[in-house]
Amino acid sequence: MNQLQKSLRINAYFSGISGIILIIFNKQFADLLGISTSPFWITGLVLIFFMGTIIYEIKKQRRLAILWIITQDLIWVSTSLFILIAKPFGITRAGHYIIGFIALIVLLLGMNQIIALQNEQKTS
Average pLDDT over residues 94-123: 95
Which domain covers residue 98, as residue numbers?
Answer: 3-123
Side chain identity at 80, as an amino acid letter? S
Question: So what's the pLDDT on residue 75?
Answer: 98
Question: So what's the pLDDT on residue 11?
Answer: 98
The number of distinct structural domains making up the chain is: 1
- Quickly state the pLDDT bin for 2 (edges 50, 70, 90): very high
Q: What is the pTM of this model?
A: 0.93
Distance between CA 103 and CA 90 in Å, rounded?
18
Distance between CA 18 and CA 11 in Å, rounded?
10
- Quickly state the pLDDT bin for 1 (edges 50, 70, 90): confident
For the segment 44-94, what is each residue's pLDDT rounded down to a tens digit? 999 999 999 999 999 999 999 999 999 999 999 999 999 999 999 999 999
- In sign, the C-alpha dihedral spanning 118, 121, 122, 123 is positive
